[in-house]
A and B are shown apart, each in its own frame.
Chain A
């Protein structure tokens, strides 16, 4: 008997392993011309795992504190063996993860994969996207450089605009009235404990739902396959789909390595709270569409403060976005066209405003 089989038998006797992996053996993935969109969720998960691993390695040297954070990151970049690689991969992977999470969300939207019975998968996924953006916001401050300091100042100020809860929320985030070392340690706590805990829990729920419900098929194809079951094409999840996913992960790893080696993540200049804010300060690219929108809203709209109106509008849109599947028809033949139109508009708006915000002075 081979050693692998020995181990498998040993596990089976103790955990009923075969029963546990039996659904995976039976699990299939629909095969059609849009199947490659299924890889995006897996790539996002892969990048999250990279984040956790590189984050743990960075924790070995990183010191949260206004007097030590910048120096410790500088030490990681210059003195620690392969420290530059770990930090650059962590930073690039964070950005790629947010990008793939957005791409995954829009692919789900355009393929109408959020329809019944996958509403909760969508809800958990959108909340995960918000959490990922929270990771980005909290992690951006940790190197304690000038750009991060002032971007955090602006970002938390916008939070303070929310009526009633805004000011206490801003003080909670900052650990006081101003962005100080207390904000840094607080953001560090969010970044390495609170958000990872919540994200891991939600990822488990999200994956469980995906496993229970299987992969969605676009409505048109679903109807075709319903009318002609012999036309239905599938592949086994393991090993066929899993190997393809593995290829996608390798490609993602190659892209990450190339970015980290050719464009190591910049360290910037240490934050000086007493220095004036650099001209044209902007948030990270994934917040640009919101930032630019807030900039374009007039100071007063009717009798309401423009910025407050903008923040409230984004809050409302975010809530409706989470609840979007509940507006969709259960019947695949009667899909709501306005949701597809809204998805096109949202994609165009986010892309357009981000580019505009990037180019604007």
Chain B
């Protein structure tokens, strides 16, 4: 009975291959295309062996003229499955997972070969991979760590600039999260799995997903891509400084740099956290739930006093800008022309932003310079608004006097008409 079942199954498989071959052959004959017997059959097969013509045609390799045989070997010109997939023709079959980095690297590490297709494409991906946590674990035989195809996909691989690519800035965090947010998959690795959840609530994600800023950071921006690894406690400010240049320059010269290093504290992350960075507010300098200074400093010490002074300065400028805005808004809604003062308000806001950046120097004198600049501008704008309001009142008084004069004229004219007509 078992023999009969095996024979039936073998017969069905043979019929399937013959049918696939016939369809493929018919396609060749009718369209006269260069023969690719791999796709002719595999496009008719179910997953995981199936690769449709449509899917493969979107792959960057296919678009550059590479074929299935470029990776899998064999003879795609032969319509005979035995010949096409013969070891003699160099057929490799399914690529073993542990062989993938080397296989991809065989082309992508060859500068002369890659130059033919894209001269600006880097060729150090494999070398970088070997330095990554993924690559190091892969070298020790860990088959769960990511290899090229896990991030880039396979058979429909698109360049990172393509919005559909799994490694496009918009999608790459989701790609990383496929493993790193999967608590079951990450069992055995002593790292948290909440990075993606935190990142999704962060100011960086907001910049990318909501504001559409394609330069906003995603996972590889801080961790690297092929050489992905944690930045390291004492090097984290180097990562942040690639974008936050001024803050980093201030921090480098500040007293906190040495203090944090001595205490093995991770620079920027101490106050701002890492994956879940939210938009910083002045409350960080306060003593409430968002406060960060008092996590280390003692209430009443010299640093606490400096913190309070900085917070007060920032609040003073913020309030001055708000006051000027309020008066200018009233003047504007009264029809007064205050567009110049409105524009100058942006300079005051810039000063406040600059002061908030200068906070990273932890020097009161430097912060106060920016605060004073902003206060001067906001004060001028407030005066412009107040002058506009005085002018508005002057106009209304003038209008009142004019209307009284017109009223007297009307009464006079009416009386005169009455007189001459009586």
Chain A interface (Cβ < 8 Å from any Cβ of B): 74, 77-78, 84-85, 235, 239-240, 243-244, 246-247, 250-251, 253-254, 257-258, 261-267
A258 touching B340, Cβ below 8 Å: no
Chain A to chain B: the 10 pairs with minimum beta-carbon distance, closest first: A264-B335, A261-B399, A77-B337, A254-B406, A261-B395, A78-B337, A247-B413, A250-B406, A243-B417, A257-B402
A243 touching B399, Cβ below 8 Å: no
Asked if B207 is at the interface (CB within 8 A of a chain A CB), the reply is: no
- From B337, B406, B410, give the contact of A84 (CB < 8 A): B337
Chain B interface (Cβ < 8 Å from any Cβ of A): 335-337, 339-340, 395-396, 398-399, 402-403, 406-407, 409-410, 413-414, 416-417, 420-421
With both beta carbons as reference points, the residue of chain B lying nearest to A253 in the complex is identified as: B406
B398 touching A261, Cβ below 8 Å: yes
- Report the separation of the CA atoms of residues A201 and B413 in the bound assembly, to the nearest whole angstrom: 32
B421 touching A240, Cβ below 8 Å: yes
B337 touching A262, Cβ below 8 Å: no
Which of chain B's residues have a CB closer than 8 A to the CB of A240? 417, 420-421
- Report the separation of the CA atoms of residues A240 and B339 in the bound assembly, to the nearest whole angstrom: 49
Which of chain A's residues have a CB closer than 8 A to the CB of B414? 247
- From A246, A253, A262, A267, give the contact of B339 (CB < 8 A): A267
A-B contact pairs, 8 of them (CB 8 A): A243-B417, A244-B417, A250-B413, A251-B406, A254-B407, A262-B335, A264-B336, A266-B335
B416 touching A250, Cβ below 8 Å: no
* Apart from A262-B396, A267-B339: 13 A-B pairs, beta carbons within 8 A: A78-B340, A84-B337, A240-B417, A246-B413, A250-B406, A253-B406, A254-B406, A254-B407, A257-B403, A257-B406, A258-B403, A262-B399, A263-B335
A254 touching B413, Cβ below 8 Å: no
- Report the separation of the CA atoms of residues A246 and B414 in the bound assembly, to the nearest whole angstrom: 10
A261 touching B396, Cβ below 8 Å: yes
- Report the separation of the CA atoms of residues A77 and B398 in the bound assembly, to the nearest whole angstrom: 17
A243 to chain B, nearest CB (A): 5
Which of chain A's residues have a CB closer than 8 A to the CB of B406? 250-251, 253-254, 257
B339 touching A74, Cβ below 8 Å: yes
- Report the separation of the CA atoms of residues A264 and B339 in the bound assembly, to the nearest whole angstrom: 14
B402 to chain A, nearest CB (A): 5
A78, A84, A239, A264 interface centre (most CB from chain B within 10 Å)? A78
B336 touching A247, Cβ below 8 Å: no
- Report the separation of the CA atoms of residues A244 and B398 in the bound assembly, to the nearest whole angstrom: 26
A53 to chain B, nearest CB (A): 16
- Report the separation of the CA atoms of residues A240 and B421 in the bound assembly, to the nearest whole angstrom: 8
B410 touching A250, Cβ below 8 Å: yes
- From A77, A235, A251, A266, give the contact of B410 (CB < 8 A): A251
With both beta carbons as reference points, the residue of chain B lying nearest to A267 in the complex is identified as: B337
